[in-house]
Chain A
Amino acid sequence: MALSKIDVSKMITGTIGVANGGTGLTAGTADQYLKFTGTTTLASAAVSAGIAGYDRWKLGTSFTGDAQPITSNLSRTAHGEFSKIGTGMSESSGVFTFPETGLWEVGFQAQFYGDANAYGRIQINWSTNSGASYTSSGWADTSSWGQPNGNNGNYRTITSSILNVTNASTFRVRVEAEQQDDSDGSVYGAASDVTFIEFTRLADSQ
């Protein structure tokens, strides 16, 4: 007699392994997913829900000349639609400390204002020894050349660095902005995010 149905609850004990079309599991965990932990094994595992760390700080006050590094007038972006993701960065005299290890992207955007022959440079510097020494990584230049009729105008630049933060307690980041060739420009600070630094945790440290 042919079987039209099999009552697995009465005919099978234990679990059915992956090789036989099963999962090899007796239970899972709420809100987790299955993933292969070997060629024939599955496990219940959590899946990262997007970016785990993000923060943004803005320059609130303008200055002329150089700031190597920028040491003041930095504050966390505070408009109503933003809130940091995770613990957020710590800042003291322009020196930033990371909340946790990881592969972090640090972005720096600056807006300058100056005459028709001004140009500026921004740079990101990092330290692995609590700020005893810094390494430059990521710089960018910008200029106001081309302003019509020799008028003053705005000019902007952006740079970024990917930093492998393996020790959050000793890793530091700071940024600087300078006017090249003593040009008569200024860095624009404002209540909105015109000149700002942002930090994004991309993955675990490498």
Chain B
Amino acid sequence: MVDINTGRPDHIEDALIKLHKGQWFTWSDVNIKVYANLQLTEKVGIDGDIVDNPVTTLPTEEEVNAKLKELQDAWDAANGG
């Protein structure tokens, strides 16, 4: 997640959580959070029910990186960057 000292987005997980809401993604290895390990979850919890994940397609690596850059640019603009 974001840089703990500054709050600036610095990891692809910062971007992924902004692409969709809920627990739509997971990692094949939670200790190595890189795009190659990104996976869709099978189920999500919505309004008390466990249902199929409505997100059915992973974003491309380029889309994730673009979202991260968008978040970083917004943070930089808001913090005098």
Q: Identify the A interface with B (CB < 8 A).
A: 60-73, 75, 93-95, 113, 134, 151-153, 176, 186, 188, 190-191
Closest residue to A174 on the B side, CB-wise? B45
Contact B13 A62 (CB under 8 A): yes
B7 to chain A, nearest CB (A): 5
Bound Cα distance A71, B21 (Å): 14
Contact A70 B23 (CB under 8 A): yes
Bound Cα distance A73, B44 (Å): 11
- 5 closest A-B pairs by beta carbon, nearest first, are A65-B21, A60-B30, A69-B45, A72-B41, A71-B45
Contact B22 A63 (CB under 8 A): yes
Contact A61 B13 (CB under 8 A): yes
Bound Cα distance A190, B25 (Å): 14
Contact A66 B21 (CB under 8 A): yes
Q: Known contacts A73-B23, A152-B7; decide if A62 and B1 are in contact (CB<8 Å).
A: yes
Bound Cα distance A75, B45 (Å): 17
Contact B23 A71 (CB under 8 A): yes
Bound Cα distance A63, B1 (Å): 10
Residues of A within 8 A of B34 (CB): none
Q: Known contacts A64-B18, A188-B1, A190-B1; decide if A134 and B48 are in contact (CB<8 Å).
A: yes
| Total inter-chain residue pairs, C-beta < 8 Å | 78
Q: A62-B13, A73-B23, A73-B26 are in contact. List 12 more A-B contacts (CB 8 A).
A: A61-B13, A61-B26, A61-B27, A64-B17, A68-B45, A69-B48, A69-B50, A70-B23, A71-B43, A71-B50, A72-B41, A73-B27
Contact A66 B22 (CB under 8 A): yes
21 A-B Cβ contacts within 8 A? A60-B30, A61-B26, A61-B27, A62-B13, A62-B17, A63-B22, A64-B21, A65-B21, A65-B22, A66-B22, A67-B44, A68-B47, A68-B48, A70-B23, A71-B41, A72-B23, A94-B45, A113-B1, A152-B7, A186-B17, A190-B1
Residues of B within 8 A of A71 (CB): 23, 41, 43-45, 50
B58 contacts A by Cβ under 8 Å: no
Please pick, from A94, A113, A151, A153, the residue contacting B50 in the complex, using a CB distance under 8 A: A94
B44 to chain A, nearest CB (A): 6
B46 contacts A by Cβ under 8 Å: yes
Bound Cα distance A64, B25 (Å): 11
Contact A68 B46 (CB under 8 A): yes
Bound Cα distance A94, B45 (Å): 9
Residues of B within 8 A of A94 (CB): 45, 50
Residues of A within 8 A of B43 (CB): 71-72, 93
Residues of B within 8 A of A176 (CB): 45, 48
Closest residue to A150 on the B side, CB-wise? B78
Residues of B within 8 A of A70 (CB): 23, 45
